[in-house]
Amino acid sequence: MRVIFSGGGTGGHIYPALALLQRLQERDLLDEVLYIGTEKGLESRIIRQKNIPFEAIELQGFKRSLSLDNLKTVRLFLQSTHRAKRIVRDFKPDVVVGTGGYVSSAVLFAAAQLHVPTVINEQNSVAGITNRFLGRFVDRISIAFPEVAAQFPKQKVVLTGNPRAQQVAGMQANQRLTDFHLQPEVPTLLIFGGSRGAERINAAFLAALPELNKKDYQVLFVSGQVHYAKIQKALANKTVNKNIAVEPYINDMPTILPDVAVILGRAGATSLAEITALGIPSILVPSPYVTNNHQTKNAESLVNHQAAEMITEEQLTGQSLLKVADRLMQDQKLRQTMSEQARQLGVPDAADRLIKVMQDLIH
């Protein structure tokens, strides 16, 4: 199978594509691959580091307010569509897969115009602007949350899950907590505000620290690289007991997940795919700074199935963090129930489901 992937801007658009690519390789179904992104996006670095053939096009997203920049966006879209058509003709893919981000708009639109089979993967419970646009033109739309189906043409929608889920499903506890001087046998709460960290989550941890020091459970707090110096300064005159570990960042974060009892963090699509695949109870603090408030909708999907608790960023304080953390960390039966509910929402064969969609389109 010859496949073109396109998606970028954030890891949430890139890692599902990489998970699907990896599964195609594992099943010996991938003959040739090409990834199309932008030079400015994270994809240019991540994809090239993995030695995956990469082509760049120039594109930018629409401003949500009236702006002359939108005229430039239209011009770039037309130019990029023309270039994408040349790339598609030269590569001759069997299928083109889009995983979100504005760069995929030109690529998938070009492929659809050339009558090449096309599929997009929508990872969130609220469709992104690019995927809403592409939904009218592509052949199939794979979704991770049933709630998003109504935002697309019904006959094109297939519930596959997020390919990232299959990449982590089945991972076992591997004693990684010892890397942070924590005890693997003690229930551990992971507090993690995303790769860059989250100021409100960090502030809540600092406020809760005096009480967290007294708990019979452990806390692994990951501040984010950009906030770490500030956190270290704030901790200079505070006691940090042995049941607390503070880190700026954890490389290969998914490998730590099977070792933790509960996660407190954001509600991005990739994170939720991972924690439902592994059946990890969660305390979700949706970012209010995302398009269409989609993280709140993502979180509500888990809360409605008793798989997670949710605290809005506005409600998050040291006191509210402690209240919810204690309820989960001190009740193993509750954690087990939430874990079972989370697993029911997970799609451990998500990549294989999406591959089946691709194969059906080709044949």
Binding residues: 10-12, 124, 195, 250, 295
What the block records as the tokens of 36 is 């199309």
What the block records as the tokens of 19 is 């998970």
Task: For 120-147, give one letter per residue: b (16+ CB within 10 A) or e.
Answer: bbbbbbbbbebbebbbeebbbbbbbbeb
Nearest to 257 by CA among 166, 126, 148, 168: 168
- Count other Cβ atoms within 10 Å, centred on residue 277: 28
List the beta bridge partners of residue 158.
142
Cα–Cα distance list, 314 to 49, 200, 284, 288, 311 (Å) = 38, 9, 13, 9, 8
Asked if residues 298 and 125 have their Cβ atoms less than 8 Å apart, the reply is yes
3 state SS of 32: strand
Q: How many residues are present in the chain?
A: 363
Distance CA 37, CA 7 (A): 6
What the block records as the tokens of 318 is 């040291």
Sheet of strand 157-159: strand arrangement: 54-56, 32-37, 2-6, 95-98, 118-122, 140-143, 157-159
DSSP E strand stretches across the chain = 2-6, 32-37, 54-56, 95-98, 118-122, 140-143, 157-159, 188-192, 218-222, 244-247, 262-265, 282-284, 308-310
Specify binding-site residues for UDP-N-acetyl-alpha-D-glucosamine.
Answer: 10-12, 124, 195, 250, 295
- Residue 4's φ and ψ, nearest 5 degrees, are -105, 130
